[in-house]
Structure 1
Amino acid sequence: MLEIKNLTKRFGTRTIIDDLSMTVKDNEIMAIVGPSGAGKTTLLRCITGLESVNTGEFYWKGTKFDPTNTTQKDTIIGVVFQDYQLFPNLTVLGNITLAPTMVKKEPMTDVKKYARELLSRLGLEGKENLYPYQLSGGQKQRVAIVRALAMRPKILCYDEPTSALDPALRDEVAQIILDLKQQEMTQIVVTHDMDFAKNVADEIQQVKQIQ
């Protein structure tokens, strides 16, 4: 279970998130929903350690941790970015294996084996040697998910996973998220799309813009 207690985030004198507390239960999907400018992506960046917080504490299964600490033995939070952020000069397999081998120092043989298992699970078998420009939007999305999963996170976060997709691909992403839940992956989805949130989430956290 992920617990966030009394999180406040400011940029200069502007408060973006004010004393927010929330709990994400194991193996469940939390959707964070709100209008543009309400701080959804900022909240996600705080949870994933891409932004430091002014005040607040994070707990995983009752143990306090710092999302910004990249030297932790276990990867607690993984993230799938809105624009995927795949490295254009690397193949699909290169994108997936880079972080586990460079950051976690895992053996390349083991990482490649797990990467291929994940690619097969997400319908990308045979795409290992393609480059990002050779992939469709939906395929890039799935590669980004595989890349995040390759770090073996306890929680997987998504920033607006359907914003650039047509309705058919939106349904595909929803199914991937639900399939991962069946595999006991805890997930947090930031979205402006309430219908999508209702389709996938066990719980919805609404974020309102601070006046």
Structure 2
Amino acid sequence: MLELKNITKKFGSRTILNKLNLTIPDQEILAIVGPSGAGKTTLLRCLSGLEKADSGQFLWNNQEFDPTEPSKNNQITGVVFQSYELFPNLTIIDNITLAPRLVLKEDNSQALQTAKQLLHELDLTGKEELYPYQLSGGQKQRVAIARALAMKPQILCYDEPTSALDPALRTKVGEIILQLKNNNKMTQIIVTHDMDFAHQVADQIFTVKALDFKKVD
């Protein structure tokens, strides 16, 4: 279970998150919604360690952790960025294996085995030696998901996963997210403006502006 306790984040004199409290049960999908500027992405960036909260606690299974200091035994969150952030000069297989080799210190054969399995699960077999520019937007997003999963996170976070996708690909992303929940038992957090998508995939919805947390029927 993931718990956020009294998380506060300020930029200068502006308070973005004010003593925010949130609990996410294991293997559930949380959608974070709200208007632009309400703090959705800031919350995701604090949780994933891209921004440091000014105060408050992050707990995983009752153990406090610092998202800004990940380690092999403390890989709590992985992130799928809105713009994918793939390395354009690396092949798809190298995009996926780079961080596990450098950060997790996996040997090349182990990293390759994991990457190929993830590509197979995400219907990307045969794309290993291509470069990002040779892929469609939906394929790039699945590579970004594979890259995040290769780091073996406990929680997978998405920043606006449907923002640039047509309806068919939007449905495909929803299927992948639900598959990760049902087959991989993955806890997931989705920042989105797409309320229809949020209701399609989420167990819980958190509205940042109103600080309102409710269960989805």
For normalisation by structure 1, the TM-score amounts to 0.97
Correspondences of 1:67-146 after superposition (within 5 Å): 67-146=67-146
User: Partner residue of 1:50?
Assistant: 50
Q: SS state of the match for residue 78, structure 2? A: strand
Counterparts of 1:80 and 1:71 in 2: how far apart (Å)? 19
Q: 1:105-148, CA deviations, whole angstroms, 9 ceiling, x for partnerless residues?
A: 11110010011001000000111000000000000000000000
Moved over 4 A (4+): none
Correspondences of 1:167-182 after superposition (within 5 Å): 167-182=167-182
Q: SS state of the match for residue 16, structure 1? A: strand
Is 1:36 equivalent to 2:36 in the alignment? yes
Kept in 2: contact 1:27–1:187 (CA 8 A): yes
CA-CA distance at 1:74 after TM superposition:
3.2
Counterparts of 2:203 and 2:49 in 1: how far apart (Å)? 24
CA-CA distance at 1:104 after TM superposition:
1.0
Letter of the structure 1 residue corresponding to residue 165 of structure 2: L
Kept in 2: contact 1:35–1:209 (CA 8 A): no
Is 1:198 equivalent to 2:199 in the alignment? yes
Counterparts of 2:161 and 2:36 in 1: how far apart (Å)? 15
In structure 2, the gaps of 5 or more residues are 212-217
Kept in 2: contact 1:82–1:159 (CA 8 A): yes
- Matched residues, number: 210
Aligned-residue RMSD, C-alpha: 1.1
In structure 1, the gaps of 5 or more residues are none
Q: 1:10-69, CA deviations, whole angstroms, 9 ceiling, x for partnerless residues?
A: 001100111110011100000000111111000000000000011110000010000000
Higher relative contact order (CA 8 A, sep 6+): 1
CA-CA distance at 1:71 after TM superposition:
3.2
